[in-house]
Amino acid sequence: MDSILFEQLNISPQVQRALGEIGFSQATPIQAQAIPAILEGYDVIGRSQTGTGKTAAFGIPAIEMVDPDLPQVQVLILCPTRELAMQACGEIQKFARYKRGIKAAAIYGGAPIQRQIIQLKTGVQLVIGTPGRVMDHMRRRTLKLDQVKMVILDEADEMLNMGFREDIETILKEVPQERQTVLFSATIPPAILALTREYQRDPIQIEVGAKNRPIEAISQFYYESPTGRKMDVLNLLLHFHQPQLSIVFCNTKSMVEQLTEYLCSHGISAAGIHGDMKQPARTQVMNRFKSHQTPVLIATDVAARGIDVENVDAVFNYDIPQDLEYYIHRIGRTARAGKKGAAFTIISGRNQLRQIQEMEKLTGATIARGAIPTVEQIQNKQRDRFLEQLAQQIPQDSHNLGEEMVAQALAEGYTLHQLAVSLMELCYQPQLDGLKDVPAITPPPPKAKNTMGIVMGIGRTQKAAPNFILGAIAQATGLPAKAVGKIMIYRDHTVVEMTSESARLAVREMQSCRINGHKTWVRLLDEQEDTRKAHQKGTHFSERTRGRYNNSRLSRERRTSKNRQPQH
């Protein structure tokens, strides 16, 4: 699509003036397609990745369709998190700066509800809120929706992932049926399609293609960490790469707090953000991050949904996301506005290596194995960087204060060489203080990628146990116990990790075998199958279990041999 200027769209002069003042002149692809369709009254499904200008795509036409003489809620925008609601409200207020009589309000949990009630009573036409707090105001009858003519669902896939579906449906049933419904989402899973079928009328689907996704501009790497050393690995990576702004993702609030404390104690300015923090504290953390006062932000996925910060040049996955779809959302925080970025994922164990392979399929891009930098490599790189910065700072003209200090030191008997060495160490050493107590890390050797899984039609329901599974495999194939990897037993099936050759042998020799008295089917685990089951609630076959099996088998063989001896 050719570049389209905002002045080419059917936008009022007041909004155009506001856009010009904040530096918006050319519409992004999603804006160029969505704004005209929404202005014409169509229901819209907009599919676009984070950071492509979706707020303006729905916010501008929402403002244009509001009647400023009617002091009642006419547009309702639902967002998954408080940060996203605040951010969207702030942008809409900027767009509507010169539209006299138009007011917008953000309502979300974690903030005093009485203030929001007072704000709603002043007569606002646009309400931007989280589903839970919107429902709260509906129950209190402080938010009336009978005049709503447009509902916008922003980040719809995230709202469903966070369990807001029932709230969304309740809200949609309360607004007038004769309304316009607009939905924006990074992905369109079946649950989204179900919503659109029920609550939209002949929607126009607008999709910004894969060529507009920032994945190609992101260099992706993974690092294999020894067990218990992931914090040290992250510390080394941050010291080595020294990103100007970076986000570190964790899966739990407690890990955010632990990691923040660890990094701060190792010379890295970091701050954490998660759902249990009070709103003033969250706002302060985000303001310091946006202003580059705190270069490292540590966040959970939910808290990060409201983060829309430019110039983030690196994303670190301290934990692999529990839902691999979140991986795209995470790394999409970098490489915005045509810039390049990097994504680093720290893993530990074979199962997480398999998840890396799944993420490669998901993104269609290679995630390269990176080498964990050593303290010596970091020192060399930081020394070179320091010398380069020093060369740029050497003044071209004389510096009176500096000359006076040098002259005084020389008069006291110091040599220029001694002064230079001492000053270099004084300036350079603080950069390495965070590495003093980090012991050397020996990364695990690269793991073979020729592992494969087999699936058996027997599980906990049939009272399957690891020793039964291992015994059946050994009996049918003659394979030793060490040829079998993890055994994961679920309710009605079992997944066994093996090498590709052993897996094919097991499938060939174990068709219609019996395990614990049950006739059982065996097949290869399809490469396209969701192998994340291997990381969920299963009974894992440990080395201790393997030892017990070998001992019990030896005892059983001795008893059998003894029973078979002839009786005299």
DSSP string, 171-193: HHHHS-SSSEEEEEES---HHHH
Q: Which two tokens stand for residue 114?
A: 């009485």
- Same-domain status, 194 and 230: no
pLDDT band at 350 (very low <50, low <70, confident <90, very high): confident
pLDDT tens sequence across 529-566: 444 444 343 444 444 444 444 454 445 444 444 444 44
Average pLDDT of span 263-275: 91
* Mean pLDDT computed over every residue of the chain: 83
pLDDT at 49: 67
pLDDT top residue among 432 and 363 = 363
Residue 376 has pLDDT above 50, yes or no: yes
- Same-domain status, 351 and 339: yes
CATH code for the domain of 498: 3.30.70.330
- Same-domain status, 55 and 196: yes
Fill in the DSSP letter of residue 435. G
pLDDT at 142: 96
Distance CA 57, CA 42 (A): 14
Q: Count CA atoms within 13 Å of residue 410 on its CB side.
A: 9
425 to 38, 169, 420: CA distances (angstroms): 62, 63, 9
- Single residue among 174, 194, 212 that ends a domain in this structure: 212
Q: Count CA atoms within 13 Å of residue 38 on its CB side.
A: 33
The pTM is what? 0.56
pLDDT at 395: 62
- Same-domain status, 114 and 16: yes
- Same-domain status, 277 and 157: no
- Same-domain status, 199 and 260: no
The answer to whether residue 74 sits within a structural domain is yes
Contact of 313 with 342, CB cutoff 8 Å = yes
What's the angle, vertex CA 512, arms to CA 508 and CA 517, rounded to 5? 130
Domain that residue 172 falls in: 4-212
The answer to whether residue 393 sits within a structural domain is no
- Same-domain status, 45 and 190: yes
The answer to whether residue 201 sits within a structural domain is yes
- Single residue among 212, 241, 273 that ends a domain in this structure: 212
pLDDT tens sequence across 36-66: 999 999 999 998 766 678 899 999 999 999 9
Residue 480 phi/psi, 5° resolution? -75, 165
Average pLDDT of span 515-529: 77
Find tokens 């705190």 and name the residue: 294
Percentage of the residues of the chain whose pLDDT score is greater than 90: 42
The answer to whether residue 463 sits within a structural domain is yes
105 to 102, 125, 168: CA distances (angstroms): 10, 8, 19
- Same-domain status, 89 and 129: yes
- Same-domain status, 176 and 262: no
- Same-domain status, 313 and 177: no
- Single residue among 212, 243, 261 that ends a domain in this structure: 212
pLDDT top residue among 103 and 474 = 103
Percentages (nearest 5) of helix, strand, coil residues in the chain:
45, 15, 35
Which range has the top average pLDDT, 302-316, 460-474, 523-537? Answer: 460-474
- Same-domain status, 255 and 320: yes
- Same-domain status, 18 and 71: yes
Average pLDDT of span 368-397: 81
The three-state secondary structure class of 42 is coil
Residue 399 has pLDDT above 70, yes or no: no
CATH code for the domain of 310: 3.40.50.300
Please give the single-letter amino acid code of residue 223: Y
pLDDT tens sequence across 411-433: 888 888 887 777 777 776 666 66
Structural domain count, the chain: 3
The answer to whether residue 533 sits within a structural domain is yes
Do β-strands 513-515 and 518-520 pair in parallel, antiparallel, or remain unpaired? antiparallel
Percentage of the residues of the chain whose pLDDT score is greater than 70: 85
pLDDT at 217: 85
Q: CA-based diameter of the chain, in Å?
A: 112
pLDDT band at 330 (very low <50, low <70, confident <90, very high): confident
330 to 185, 312, 367, 393, 454: CA distances (angstroms): 15, 11, 15, 37, 32
Average pLDDT of span 446-459: 75
pLDDT top residue among 322 and 16 = 16
Residue 56 phi/psi, 5° resolution? -70, -30
pLDDT at 139: 95
For the chain, the C-alpha Rg in angstroms (whole number) is 30
Average pLDDT of span 199-216: 76
pLDDT band at 210 (very low <50, low <70, confident <90, very high): very low
Distance CA 34, CA 54 (A): 9
The answer to whether residue 129 sits within a structural domain is yes
Q: Of the candidates 461, 530, 534, which has an alpha carbon nearest to the alpha carbon of residue 492?
A: 461
